Structure 1
């Protein structure tokens, strides 16, 4: 049988992707943010247990350029961005492909709320007239408004029960896993249309590589996510710069994976205060074209 060799994306889709890439480069050139390239192969995988890296000849295809870009920050390169392919195993579907395009950038001396404003400026440029304002919510406000749930006062049992009702199954999840499910199944579908929705101040247990503000149960991570028409587009942080705390987080999350010692060495030498964000380009194209993932890629994973 002759395979279907044709691209999944139309010529118009390919032209729009090229136009977006050009607009992105113009945006950062005007703001004097340096475009950089880092290796797609890395010696140590990401420690986040929710992300599954793809092994490649004793190394790993990077799931994000984050670690290498932070080493550049530690070397004093300054404000930087990168537009590149990244790889995550088993992520395939109408909104996912194991190989996808990520825009990631870092602003030295900024906190996450300054970066949120710049993300808005870029998305308003790329989405043009589709954007009708902006809504800012804390994670707590989003859950209260759209799920009637206060994550600070709700018990683990209450959160799990809500999650089971939404999933229709008794999955083996912890508190944060159930909260993620409630966000994806109940909150995200109700977010207002045609607005950029910024959700910030996540539970400290979901800090990833972000700074933590506050103490005790009410402590929050200085991170944000950006949604448009119910689709998550970007995830940003007021970046953690303390090497000792970063090592502790890596060791807690690693679950047997190797820890990136080069990043930790760079952070020990001194990482500047900064904020960073990663934005999915393919999802932007999906929104602009109203098409599923495989129709905005030249060749999706199953036909590559």
Structure 2
């Protein structure tokens, strides 16, 4: 007997229409502010060196050439967009498909829609205000709260993450029954991220969005370091109803420092047994040419729509998730 295959989309027809209207409103928001919409490639010669993100690999075959070329689906349009900024594009935004392996769940699909934009002459706080404006426009929510990374750790775990020793963090993790999750974590940052994910994030933004800023400088691959306190970066994340919606920076423009950080990432990847990738030479060349002082942010569009439509699963707001694609 033939098995019946469920070929239908996971999203309702009603939600298809609502999703389309939200995407239309996002474009209007930026068009009204004279931010140019751009398109950049979905396939790149370079994978991300980020330790916490896994790239999809593909193969490019050229006619008449036997040796295939390794290529990768983008995890973010960031590097290409920064090349546009270095070329003098001015303020830009993009709505595009991104791909991250090993990310599947109620709030994750390996293929997802990202909104990313960059604002020359904006610092981190200017950009936080603009993200807040967008969220109020789309979600009709209250103004975002502001809290430093340090302060949320003190509030929920009664410990200063910038001063805490690794042994102190391990004790907290054990008290929260996270022993099995953190037993392979070899550095302080990994443990901090686990504690943030399991012990803090679920409580963030229950009633209105909250912006967490000044993440540790060791958790800021692409952000500037704070001039007054080198322990923290000019990086922020925005949470609402327990979900991360946005991740933004006052962008690092120093070519030598950025190259060093990417090289250090590859060292970390090698230590923990992850593939080591070539660093994107085009991105670094653009930085060397000169990236304007700017801030940029990435927003998970599917999650934004989940909140707008009061959905509990990402499958309710996308047509064909990975299990039926």
TM-score bucket of the superposed structures, by smaller chain:
over 0.9
2:24 maps to 22
Give 1:196's match in structure 2, choosing from 205, 209, 213.
Answer: 209
| Residues 73-104 of structure 1, C-alpha deviations (whole Å, 9 max, x = no match) | 00001100000000001100011000000000
- Give the Å deviation of 1:192: 4.4
**Retained in 1: the 8 A contact 2:251–2:293?**
yes
- Distance, in Å, in 2 between the alignment partners of 1:202 and 1:94 is 26
Correspondence 1:43 to 2:45: yes
Distance (Å, rounded) in 2 between the aligned partners of 1:133 and 1:61: 35
Change in 2 beyond 3 A, CA 1:192/1:272: closer
Contact in 2 for aligned 1:209/1:237 (Cα 8 Å): yes
Aligned to 1:142: 152
Query: 5+ unaligned residues in a row in structure 1: which ranges?
Result: none
Whole-angstrom CA distance in 1 between matches of 2:170 and 2:294: 35
Mapped contact 2:47–2:277 kept (Cα < 8 A)? yes
Match of 2:79 in 1: 67
Give the corresponding residue for 1:80: 92
1:165 offset after TM fit, Å?
3.2
Residues 73 and 12 of structure 1: CA distance in aligned 2, closer, same or farther (over 3 Å): same
Q: What's the secondary structure of 2:105's corresponding residue?
A: coil
Cα offset for 1:229? 1.2
What is the SS of the residue equivalent to 2:264? Answer: helix
Q: CA deviation at 1:168?
A: 4.2
- Contact (CA 8 Å) 2:205, 2:239: kept in 1 or not? no
Q: Which moved more, 1:252-261 or 1:33-42?
A: 252-261
Q: 1:164 aligns with which of 154, 158, 174?
A: 174
- Note if 1:299 corresponds to 2:316: no
Of 124, 130, 152, which aligns to 1:112?
Answer: 124
Deviation string 1:163-202 (CA, Å, 9 cap, x unpaired) is: 2333242421121111111111111122242211000001
1:208 pairs with one of 221, 224, 228: 221
State whether structure 2 residue 234 is matched by structure 1 residue 234.
no
Distance apart, 1:153 and its partner CA: 2.3
Larger CA deviation: 290-299 vs 3-12: 290-299
Q: Does the 8 Å CA contact 2:221/2:262 hold for their aligned counterparts?
A: no
Equivalent pair of 2:150/2:161 in contact (CA under 8 Å)? yes
Q: Which runs of 4+ in 1 moved over 3 A?
A: none
Task: Note if 1:178 corresponds to 2:191.
Answer: yes
Give the TM-score normalised by the residue count of structure 1.
0.96
Q: Matched residue of 1:220: which SS?
A: coil
Per-residue deviation, 1:249: 0.5
Distance in 2 between residues matched to 1:192 and 1:277, nearest whole Å: 19
Partners in 1 of 2:250 and 2:153 — Cα distance? 22
TM-score normalised by the chain length of structure 2: 0.90
Aligned twin of 2:273: none
